[in-house]
Amino acid sequence: MEILKTVFRRKRAKPYYHLMHCVPHRKLHGLNGYYEVIETVAWGLKQLGNDVVYGLNQHDPEAINITFGEHVFPVEYLESMPKNTICYNLEQIRNLDSQSLNEQVKYVAQNFTLWDYSAANLETWAGLGRADVQVVPIGYAPILTRIPKAIEQDIDVLIFGSSSETRLHAFDALTNAGLTVIFVCGLYGKARDDLITRAKIVLNVNKYHHAQVFEIVRASYLLANRKAVVSTLDANTFVEEEIKAAIKFTTMETLLDDCIRLLKNDAERCSLEEYGYELMSKRDIRAILSTALSI
C-alpha cells in the first residue's frame, strides 16, 4: 500500500515522523490488525504537512517515533528508544491493576508520551502514575474505503479473530441455524478483505471479559467500508456514545435472532451500512491528530 513504506534513514531538513509497527514474530500476528490504524495516522500526518515513514520492528533515532504494539518488545529494547517517542495504545487495559500488566507496559508508562484510543483505559494508566494520557480516538481517512461490495454476497456471517469460548458458541449457534458462516483467524490485508466483501454481516464478539471495551479498532475499518456490523454488548461494556447507532448491538442470547432478521431485511441492513459509513467518515483523522499534536 502506497501510504506506508519502509525507507532508509537519511538526514532531513525538518523533523519527521516514523511509525513503528511492532510484530516481532508470527505468533503475534494479531498485531497486524493495527495496520489500517497506522495507515490512517500516516495519511493524516502527511495531510498536515509532515514527512512520514514506516518501519517494521525498528525505530528511527532521528525521527519522532510513534509506536504501535511496543509492549511486546523486551524492556532492553524499549530502553534504546528516544525519550520523545509517542506510544499509541490500541489494547484493552481497562480494569487491570499494576500486577496484571507486564514490565514493558510499566516502562512505557514511566518513560514516554502516551496516546490511547479509548478513555476507558485512562483509569489503568492513572494507576501507573500517568494522569496525562492523551485520548486519540480512532479516526477515518478516505484511503480506508476500498473494499467493493460483491454483486453476490455468499457469506451470511463472517467472524474473524482468535478463538474464544463465546466466539465458538456464536459460531455453533449460527451454523446450526443453517447459515453460511466463516470463522477465520490469522488473515489480514487482501485475504481478509476478500472475505469481507462477500459477507452480508460481520459479527464481533468481545473476547476480553476483564476489559469490556467495544472493539472500535477492528470495527472502524468495517464501518469505513459500509459493512453491517453486529456486536455483543454487555451491561458494563464501554462504547463511545456516537458509535452506538452505527452498530447492531446484541447479546449472546439474542445474536442469532438479530443476525437472521438482518439477513432477511436487505433494506435494514443497507441502512445500517450507510449510517455506519456516514458516522465513521466524520471522524476526520486530520482534526484528531491536529488536536493531539497541539497539546
Residues 269-294, mean pLDDT to the nearest whole number:
98
**Co-location of 92 and 115 in the same domain:** yes
The answer as to whether 59 is a domain residue is yes
Question: Which one of 98, 116, 136 terminates a domain?
Answer: 136
**Co-location of 215 and 132 in the same domain:** no
Question: Any idea which residue has 508470527 for its cell?
Answer: 26
**Co-location of 231 and 111 in the same domain:** no
Residue 202: in which H helix or E strand, if any?
strand 199-204
Residues 44-68, mean pLDDT to the nearest whole number:
98
**Co-location of 165 and 261 in the same domain:** yes
* Burial of 150: CB neighbours in 10 Å, binned 0-12, 13-18, 19+: middle
Q: What is the pTM of this model?
A: 0.94
pLDDT at 150: 95
The range of the structural domain enclosing residue 116 comes to 17-136
Residues 198-210, mean pLDDT to the nearest whole number:
91
Residues 216-220, mean pLDDT to the nearest whole number:
96
Q: How many domains are there within the chain?
A: 2
Residue 19 pLDDT exceeds 70: yes
The answer as to whether 294 is a domain residue is no
- Pseudo-torsion of CA 41, 44, 45, 46, nearest 10°? 120
pLDDT at 208: 77
Partners of 135 in beta bridges: 116
Average per-residue pLDDT for the chain: 94
**Co-location of 131 and 174 in the same domain:** no
